[in-house]
């Protein structure tokens, strides 16, 4: 395995950029190949078989890019595909669910945890299984919130309609007196202030994106797969040479999508700390 190879990160669309952003922050030396399945988004309302088939295609594509490890930066794909593809793969792969489940299990005082996510994620029951493996006494209350993704994609982060819908979705969780809420979909942290206001200060909000980057960092270190400083230096020197020669610079971050790149690039520019130079469109069905 080449420790200097990039990390592959994928999502059904743009939500996984919140995970890529955390990886960039916590491991600024690493290279990333990101794939967003914008042609087939959303995954949350689809069946496990379909999401598994799509995930396998994307993993085959990422392997053509020579990645050293893969992060499924999508709760639905993590719920539907991780266990199966992990057995099929010869490189390490992690999802966003385990890290979020562990953090929530450690954060709760009263043992009552709420999980909000897509229909597919909640239906899979995977957050409940992962948390109860760690602490069998934990009570997990799952609630699918299918309108949150369309509302976020419409930009209605702070809006009376989002308040009304969120208040309906969260009422059953409030009735159960949960003290911890997992934002089990990569879009949901964009609704954090609404969720916080409705749930109150006493409820801890868990964002799996952050926790997943921490888990990845540990994994790469333990497997001796952290990029070497020599390679980073070579990369910088090559780019200095290219800059001086007026040649195009090598970008440590590559972005691929399955539908038109424009919308994705616009969103990526808004969410990521570094400039997104260009995004390539590929036909994912060929993989």
282 contacts a second copy (rule: CB under 8 A): no
Q: Does 151 bind a second copy (CB under 8 A)?
A: yes
DSSP secondary structure letters along 162-199: HHHHHHHHHHHHHHTT-SEEEE-STTGGGGHHHHHHHH
Query: Considering the complex, what minimum distance in angstroms separates the CB of residue 148 from a second copy?
Result: 10
Residue 258 binds to a second copy (criterion: CB under 8 A)? yes
User: Does residue 76 have a known ligand-binding role?
Assistant: yes
Residue ranges of alpha helices (H) inside the chain are: 17-26, 48-64, 75-88, 97-107, 119-124, 126-134, 148-153, 160-175, 192-199, 208-222, 229-245, 261-271
- Tell which one of 91, 135, 141, 146 touches a second copy (CB under 8 A): 146
Stretch that binds a second copy, among 19-27, 83-91, 153-161, 267-275 (CB under 8 A): 153-161
Contact status, residue 251 vs residue 1, Cβ threshold 8 Å: no
For residue 223, give the DSSP letter.
T
Tell me: does residue 250 bind a second copy (CB under 8 A): no
- Quick one: which of 21, 40, 143, 187 contacts a second copy (CB under 8 A)? 40
44 annotated binding-site participant: yes
Our finding on whether 165 is near a second copy (CB under 8 A) is yes
**What letter would DSSP give residue 9?**
E
Residues 3 and 225 sit within 8 Å (Cβ to Cβ): yes
Residue 42 Cβ vs a second copy, minimum distance, rounded to whole Å: 8
145 has catalytic annotation? no
Cβ-based neighbours of 201, under 8 Å, separated by 6 or more: none
d(CA 51, CA 126): 15
Contact predicate 189/206, CB 8 Å: no
**Cα 7 to Cα 52: distance, rounded to the nearest angstrom:** 20
User: Is 11 assigned to a binding site?
Assistant: yes
Residue 93 phi/psi, 5-degree rounding, is: -140, 135
74 is catalytic: yes
Count the site residues for a second copy by CB under 8 A.
Answer: 25
Q: Which of the residues 52 through 81 are near a second copy (CB under 8 A)?
A: 53
- Quick check: 106 binds a second copy (CB under 8 A)? no
Residue range at the interface with a second copy (CB under 8 A); choices 72-80, 94-102, 189-197, 258-266: 258-266
Catalytic position from the list 20, 94, 104, 185? 185
Q: Does 89 bind a second copy (CB under 8 A)?
A: no
Ranges within 221-240 binding a second copy (CB under 8 A): none
Decide if 6 contacts 38 (C-beta within 8 A): no
Least distance in Å: CB of 116 to a second copy? 15
CA distance 167 to 3: 47
Identify which of residues 125 and 146 has a Cβ nearer to a second copy in the complex: 146
d(CA 187, CA 225): 29
12 labelled as ligand-binding?
yes
Contact predicate 213/23, CB 8 Å: yes
User: Nearest distance from residue 180's CB to a second copy, in Å?
Assistant: 26
The catalytic residue among 27, 59, 74, 120 is 74
Q: Which residues sit at the interface with a second copy, rule CB under 8 A?
A: 38-41, 45-47, 49-50, 53, 146-147, 150-151, 153-154, 160-161, 164-165, 258-260, 283, 285
**Annotation: binding site for substrate:** 11-12, 43-44, 75-76, 186-187
Residues annotated catalytic, as ranges = 74, 185
């Amino acid at each position: 395995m080449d420790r200097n190879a990039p990390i592959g990160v994928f999502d059904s669309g743009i939500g996984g950029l919140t995970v890529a952003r955390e990886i960039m922050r916590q491991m600024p030396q690493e290279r990333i190949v990101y794939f967003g399945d914008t042609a087939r988004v959303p995954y949350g309302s689809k069946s496990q078989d379909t999401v598994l088939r799509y995930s396998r295609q994307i993993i085959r594509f990422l392997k053509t890019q020579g990645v050293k490890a893969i992060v499924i930066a999508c709760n639905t794909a993590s719920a539907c595909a991780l266990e199966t593809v992990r057995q099929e793969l010869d490189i390490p792969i992690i999802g966003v669910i385990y890290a979020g489940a562990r953090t929530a299990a450690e954060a709760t005082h009263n043992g009552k945890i709420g999980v909000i996510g897509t229909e597919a994620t909640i239906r899979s029951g995977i957050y409940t299984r992962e948390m109860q493996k760690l602490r069998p006494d934990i009570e997990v209350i799952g609630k699918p919130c299918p309108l949150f993704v369309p509302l976020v994609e419409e930009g209605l982060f702070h809006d009376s309609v989002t308040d009304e819908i969120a208040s309906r979705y969260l009422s059953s969780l409030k009735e159960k007196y949960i003290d911890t809420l997992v934002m089990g979909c990569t879009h949901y942290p964009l609704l954090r202030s609404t969720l916080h206001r409705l749930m109150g200060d006493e409820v801890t909000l868990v964002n799996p994106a952050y926790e997943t980057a921490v888990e990845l960092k540990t994994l790469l270190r333990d497997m001796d797969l952290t990029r070497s400083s020599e390679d980073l230096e070579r990369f910088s020197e090559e780019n200095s040479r290219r800059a001086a020669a007026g040649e195009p610079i090598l970008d440590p971050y590559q972005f691929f999508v399955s539908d038109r790149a424009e919308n994705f690039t616009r969103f990526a520019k808004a969410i990521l700390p570094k400039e997104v130079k260009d995004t390539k469109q590929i036909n994912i069905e060929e993989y």
